[in-house]
């Protein structure tokens, strides 16, 4: 079967509708998770250097708690797909709940009340609560969205389709930032409702234009607990493949540092480095472009020096980026750190994915990718929880607490690198 061209693929109605969902959910991820929710908490809670650290703790803890429930419940979603063969049927309601929760973030933020609970204004607590719901359902919808790709093309076309989705998603990052003028001073809450509406608007193609293929009858009825049993069975089996198992541990620590840095980059740049919102958004865009360059560049580096050495190089770039950010005394140094971090973020996925392919037998590859994805979800709890605990414990030291918390991510990368060095050089055949 002949592989269709990129443009033919994109203008295929199912693929266009699918790619537009990447556009839509990237607006939520960029606007809410990375930029405006952290800025909102810093603005409402961070009235001093000490309170800025408390704001950092709330940001990281709310991200960690959302990830905890994702880890707890995501195995059920795999069972639902296996049982029914349906993906869109779950993606649509999950997306709508995420949109409604984001709208409620906006409504809660503009609700003026003097009521307090646990020392915090009820309005702010409402924003934090609805953020956790929105992020949970956003992340959950991606499980169904990612699994749709196998229905969109042949095995040779899937990498191209995946690339189209990623490229369209990056455009979503840029389009989402049209809400920036609405902050009108420091009213970051003004962006929540428009971001929710854009998320909904650009999700309409997948809701109305994407026709799900008829589901195949499932010969074996799986119980809800089977998802957890399968993860445990895969984990036990993975231990037989020492190289892949060691790398999975290393990747856990690498991803821990990367996921945490994404969650805290906005408030760190603003409170510690003195970046304005506009400067941070520019830095964020530069980091995004750096990620694209890193992904492209390290595809060639991996092919040239092999995946193990490529991962090692990326880990060192990540160490340099975090070290510069934690110690930076000037904004120019932080710009350099942001660019290097962007390169390492894009490159880590390219190199680690290639590493997994070469370390695992063909017939077990799907299981290992599933386990690595699950490991990534678990690591997105640990890193933010560590960062938030440090800023909480050292809050009285002001911005020093944030520098120590960011510096602690170096420890995670170094542990990952030490484990990675123990991965046997001889890789499993990928044929």
List per-residue pLDDT tens for the chain, 431 residues long: 566 666 676 678 888 899 899 999 999 999 999 999 999 998 898 778 888 898 899 999 999 999 999 888 887 787 777 777 788 999 999 999 999 999 999 999 998 877 877 677 899 999 999 999 999 999 999 888 887 877 787 766 776 777 677 778 878 888 998 999 999 888 999 999 999 999 999 999 999 998 887 666 555 666 667 777 877 877 777 777 888 888 888 988 998 999 899 888 988 999 999 999 889 999 988 988 888 888 878 878 888 888 889 999 999 999 999 999 999 999 999 999 999 999 998 888 778 877 877 787 776 666 677 677 777 788 888 889 999 999 999 999 999 999 999 999 999 999 999 999 998 865 544 43
Please indicate, yes or no, if residue 354 is contained in any of the structural domains. Answer: yes
Please indicate, yes or no, if residue 376 is contained in any of the structural domains. Answer: yes
> Are 207 and 160 contained in the same domain?
yes
Rg of the chain taking only CA atoms, in angstroms: 21
Question: What angle is formed at CA 44 by the lines to CA 288 and CA 131, rounded to 5 degrees?
Answer: 60
136 vs 39: CA distance, rounded Å? 20
> Are 157 and 231 contained in the same domain?
no
Can you say whether residue 274 is alpha, beta or left, with left for phi > 0 and alpha for psi between -120 and 50 degrees?
Answer: left
> Are 251 and 203 contained in the same domain?
no
> Are 278 and 182 contained in the same domain?
no
> Are 274 and 199 contained in the same domain?
no
With the C-alpha atoms ordered 193, 94, 56, 289, is the resulting torsion angle positive or negative? negative
Please indicate, yes or no, if residue 146 is contained in any of the structural domains. Answer: yes
> Are 266 and 200 contained in the same domain?
no
Structural domain range at position 168: 16-211
Please indicate, yes or no, if residue 47 is contained in any of the structural domains. Answer: yes
Domain end call among 178, 211, 244: 211
Domain end call among 211, 234, 252: 211
> Are 187 and 242 contained in the same domain?
no
> Are 177 and 276 contained in the same domain?
no
> Are 96 and 123 contained in the same domain?
yes
> Are 365 and 326 contained in the same domain?
yes
Q: At 100, which CATH number?
A: 1.20.1250.20
Q: pTM of the predicted model, to two decimals?
A: 0.84
> Are 194 and 232 contained in the same domain?
no
Please indicate, yes or no, if residue 118 is contained in any of the structural domains. Answer: yes
- State how many domains the chain has: 2
> Are 204 and 243 contained in the same domain?
no
């Amino acid at each position: 079967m002949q592989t269709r061209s990129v443009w033919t693929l994109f203008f295929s109605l199912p693929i266009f509708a699918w790619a537009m969902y990447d556009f839509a959910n990237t607006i939520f991820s960029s606007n809410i998770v990375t930029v405006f929710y952290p800025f909102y908490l810093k603005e409402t809670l961070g009235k001093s250097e000490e309170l800025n650290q408390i704001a950092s703790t709330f940001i990281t803890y709310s991200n960690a708690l959302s990830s905890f429930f994702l880890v707890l419940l995501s195995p059920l979603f795999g069972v639902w797909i296996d049982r029914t063969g349906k993906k869109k049927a779950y993606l649509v309601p999950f997306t709508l709940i995420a949109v409604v929760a984001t709208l409620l973030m906006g409504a809660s933020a503009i609700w003026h009340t003097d009521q307090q609970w646990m020392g915090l204004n009820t309005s702010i607590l409402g924003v934090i609560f609805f953020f956790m719901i929105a992020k949970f359902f956003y992340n959950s919808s991606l499980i169904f969205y990612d699994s749709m790709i196998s229905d969109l093309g042949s095995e040779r076309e899937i990498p191209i389709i995946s690339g189209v989705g990623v490229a369209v998603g990056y455009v979503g990052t840029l389009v989402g930032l049209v809400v920036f003028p609405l902050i009108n001073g420091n009213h970051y809450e003004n962006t929540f409702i428009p971001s929710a509406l854009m998320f909904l608007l650009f999700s309409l193609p997948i809701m109305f234009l994407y026709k799900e293929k008829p589901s195949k009858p499932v010969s074996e009825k799986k119980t809800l607990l089977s998802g957890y049993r399968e993860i445990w069975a895969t984990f036990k089996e993975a231990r037989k493949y020492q190289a892949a198992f060691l790398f999975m541990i290393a990747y856990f620590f690498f991803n821990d540092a990367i996921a945490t840095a994404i969650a805290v980059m906005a408030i760190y740049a603003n409170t510690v480095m003195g970046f304005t919102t506009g400067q941070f958004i520019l830095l964020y865009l530069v980091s995004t472009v750096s990620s694209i360059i890193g992904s492209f560049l390290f595809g060639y580096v991996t092919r040239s020096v092999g995946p193990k050495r490529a991962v090692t190089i990326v880990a060192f770039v990540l160490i340099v980026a975090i070290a510069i950010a934690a110690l930076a005394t000037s904004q120019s140094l932080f710009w350099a750190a942001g660019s290097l971090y962007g390169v390492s973020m894009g490159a880590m996925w390219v190199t680690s994915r290639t590493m997994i392919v070469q370390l695992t037998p063909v017939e077990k590859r799907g299981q290992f990718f599933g386990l690595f994805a699950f490991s990534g979800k678990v690591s997105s709890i640990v890193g933010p929880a560590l960062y938030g605990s440090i800023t909480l414990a050292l809050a009285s030291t002001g911005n020093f607490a944030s520098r120590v918390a960011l510096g602690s991510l170096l420890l995670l990368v170094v542990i990952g690198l030490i484990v990675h060095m123990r991965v046997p050089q001889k890789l499993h055949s990928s044929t």
